[in-house]
Chains A and B, each alone.
Chain A
Amino acid sequence: MKLKKAVAAAAVCLAVLFAVPALAADFPARPVTYIIGWATGGGSDLVSRVLCAEAEKHLGQPIVIVNKPGGSGAKAYVEISQAKPDGYTIGNTTGTISTHKFMGVIPIGHEAFEVVITFNSDPGGLWVKKDAPWKTLKEFVEDARKRPGEITVAASNPGSITRLGLQLLELKENVKFKIASQSGGESAGPSLVAGGHVDACQAAPVTAKSLYDAGEIRPLGIMSETRVEAFPDAPTCMEQGYDVVMHNARQILAPKGTPKEVVDKLYAAFKAAAESETFKKFMNESGSMILTWDQKQSAEFLEKQDAQFKELLQQVGLYKEAK
């Protein structure tokens, strides 16, 4: 009797286990896991936490954040690509989704995923000390032309988006800077400029904003098409006649094969979150750009980004076919 009951109970349990998932219309029926491929407290981490706190309200289910740092997002990309394509495992990118596959780090790029949304971009920018001799990007570039390899610019490690932005300027203008690597990424750059240790640094406005607000450093050119909202006084490179655009955008990825309905639901929730007052306040104060590109717009952007990074990496000698 007891055994029979136990068997029956087990059968019911199994039936429930197998019956619950699969239905895209019910999505989300349980919490969604959001994988961040960077450490707690970093840029991707803070932005994602603020965004997810808002997106939860629209999704109707909690979003559980899991940090899996490793290889500038590489580890997380691989894990998301291998997760069950049901929308319950998602995560965010940076520009490394395009650079990794061209540097032989991992064989996959954005084409191995369903891209839910592009929600933010941080363009590159060139910054100098408040009392530096160069007033405009033109003066800076012309000075570099006269003294090749003498002006020191802090710019992260080779192959980083930060460094590639600076090298794009070098290649387009045929000038040469003395580039100094930073082990801590681009965040150290503005402090090094303010302390007079280097002549300039390449850093996104979001990284430079504190010392810019404090009046310690000033921008020579931002590498976006239009001015960044939080920096109305910071000119872009383009408006000074330099065709240098370098974005480091963040997308949200779902595994390839995630049903369209599910991706659409996720898009709606994250779009609403990106447009929320809380997120806007946070991003504006940080000096970051908000985007709400859908799947199609994101794909177009990522194709362009792939082409740009592939060419750049070939030119700086870092291109490597992934195994």
Chain B
Amino acid sequence: MTLLAAFQTVFTFKMIALIFGGSALGIIVGALPGLSATMGMALMLPITFYMPPSEGILMLLGLYTGAVFGGAYSAILLNIPGAPPSVMTSLDGYPMAQRGEAGRAISLATVGSTLGGIAGVIALIIIAPILARFALRFGPAEYTVLAVFGLSAIVAVSGKSLARGFAGAALGVLLSTVGMDNFTNVSRFTFGSIELMSGINFIPVVIGLFGLAEVIAQILETSKEGVITRTINRLFLSASDFGKVLKGLVPASLIGIVIGVLPGAGGTIASIISYNHAMQSSKDPEKFGTGAPEGIIAAETANNASVGGAMVPLLTLGVPGSSPAAILLGALLIHNLRPGPMLFTTQPVLINTIFVGLLAAQFSLLLWGLATARIAPWILAVRKEMMLPTIAVLCVIGSFALKNSFFDVGIMLVSGVAGFFLNKLGVKPGTVILGLILGPMFENNLRSTIEISGAAPIFTSPICIVLWVLTAAMVLYPICKMFRLRKCGTE
């Protein structure tokens, strides 16, 4: 009955307008580099104070869903991941767009995101309490091994040379050590700067390594060959593409949901692990990184599936596992609603309204995504003399907007130049980002584990053992496959 009431609440003109409007705003926020879901939601938060709770929450949920997806646009069209969860999307999305298939890339991201998002919401509705119990079992030891599992994706993103991949990741880990050490209160590599005390934020680094580096590369390329106008063809999904989406859906959604549930992990790490899995289980992994549809699907499906996952600890335990979730918590609190087991019994209609609204938000992605897949690619037809400065300006604004800091603009500029040379040396920027994201997760949790009980749980806890086995499988599987192929060749 409550579900019916929830449907009646959501399917009114006003509610649908709020959800679809929220997600449109979210897509814009997500697509603009440096503006994140968190920032968009924080700005809208005061407005929700004056709305009935269901309306405010649904608008914020639409915004959140849209922002996680929106990053795909700039990742595909400009090689700048608009938001952290779309870092992996740019690896194949941008090469595909460069081939003239930007519309296809956006459509793949759209359908993948929508289906992944729906899977996430269904998991939230059906097994939220079980998932929440599972999330609590993750302690420092489990997060340590999860970071190792994530780092095994170096193999997937390093391209031709594994050695260069490890070098890139090591550089990322080194950068991640900058800042105040949480365990000893010693400043590492800060040179007395307050700015560096809180570490090097990875968003300006991402914008520099991907976006600005590409601008520099294109400027140098243009001066050699003159202006190239890119052709745009293939705007729509073929039946075989749709088959690929369906094939990638189950593993990517599962990864997205499970990782999304874990506080502090979220969409970025989900998409890294999902991309890695898709590549290792693919018949032709060498296509990944050159515009493989499977790569876009894996990344986008997983990061949107994580949205439903992230709602699990918030709604069932009242624990916000991420910054967007913390803002949703704030929006609920202002209306005297504290999420947790009690909310399910005291406010069943509201809970169901959230479920149904979140589901509707996924469909709004489908509408906006497919509607813009035909238009957005024409950005690429803009002449390079106009396009490149515009992207450079976006890079500057994006890195500034995050913390209103010129220091971050500096970091972006340095990363941009470094990214250009790293590319020349054959070091993929993705590996640096991997080290930068997963390095601190590994270090902090490892040290936390040791502080609490020594290193033993890392090898004895059941979840850790499972993660170790998965890591081994990810690393060893490609090697086995190589041997098998070699055998076939000699026989």
Which residues in A have some Cβ–Cβ distance to B below 8 Å? 39-42, 45-46, 49-50, 52-53, 66-72, 74-75, 78, 103, 105-106, 152, 157-159, 178-184, 188, 190-192, 194-195, 197-198, 209-211, 213-216, 278, 281-282, 285-286, 318
Contact = CB atoms under 8 A, between A and B. Distances in A.
A105 B340 CA distance: 39
B323 interface: yes
Contact of A181 (B39, B263, B451, B453): B451
Contact of A183 (B136, B182, B323, B330): B182
B334 A106 contact: no
Contacts of A68: 403-405
Contacts of A40: 36, 38-39, 42, 323
A182 B448 contact: yes
Contacts of B36: 40
Given A183-B440, A211-B319, 13 more contacts: A40-B38, A67-B404, A69-B198, A105-B197, A152-B453, A191-B319, A210-B318, A210-B319, A213-B338, A213-B342, A214-B317, A282-B334, A285-B333
A72 to B, nearest CB: 8
Interface of B: 36, 38-39, 41-42, 45-46, 49, 136-141, 180, 182-185, 194-195, 197-198, 263-264, 317-319, 323-324, 326-327, 330, 333-342, 403-405, 440, 444-445, 447-448, 451-453
Given A40-B39, A49-B46, A183-B448, A192 B330 contact: no
A209 B318 contact: yes
B316 to A, nearest CB: 8
Given A74-B194, A183-B448, A210-B340, A46 B403 contact: no
Contact of A214 (B263, B318, B448): B318
Contacts of B326: 41-42, 46
B330 A180 contact: no
24 contacts: A40-B36, A40-B38, A41-B323, A41-B324, A42-B323, A46-B330, A50-B334, A70-B197, A71-B180, A72-B198, A157-B180, A157-B185, A158-B185, A180-B140, A181-B183, A183-B445, A184-B264, A188-B263, A191-B136, A211-B319, A214-B318, A214-B342, A281-B335, A285-B333
A48 B339 CA distance: 21
A206 B376 CA distance: 45
Contacts, number: 149
Nearest to B337: A285
A216 B185 CA distance: 31
Given A42-B326, A74-B194, A282-B330, A318 B185 contact: yes
B198 A195 contact: no
A156 B194 CA distance: 20
Nearest to B136: A195
Contacts of A286: 333
> Which 8 pairs, one residue from A and one from B, show the smallest C-beta to C-beta distance?
A210-B318, A41-B323, A197-B139, A183-B444, A53-B46, A195-B136, A71-B197, A285-B333
Chain A facing B: main interface SS: mixed
B403 A70 contact: yes
B199 to A, nearest CB: 10
A69 B403 contact: yes
A42 to B, nearest CB: 7
B403 A195 contact: no
Contacts of A197: 139-141, 452
Nearest to B40: A40
A213 B318 contact: yes
Contacts of A179: 451
Contacts of A157: 180, 182-183, 185
B326 to A, nearest CB: 5
The CB with the most chain A CB atoms within 10 A, among B36, B141, B333, B440, is that of B333
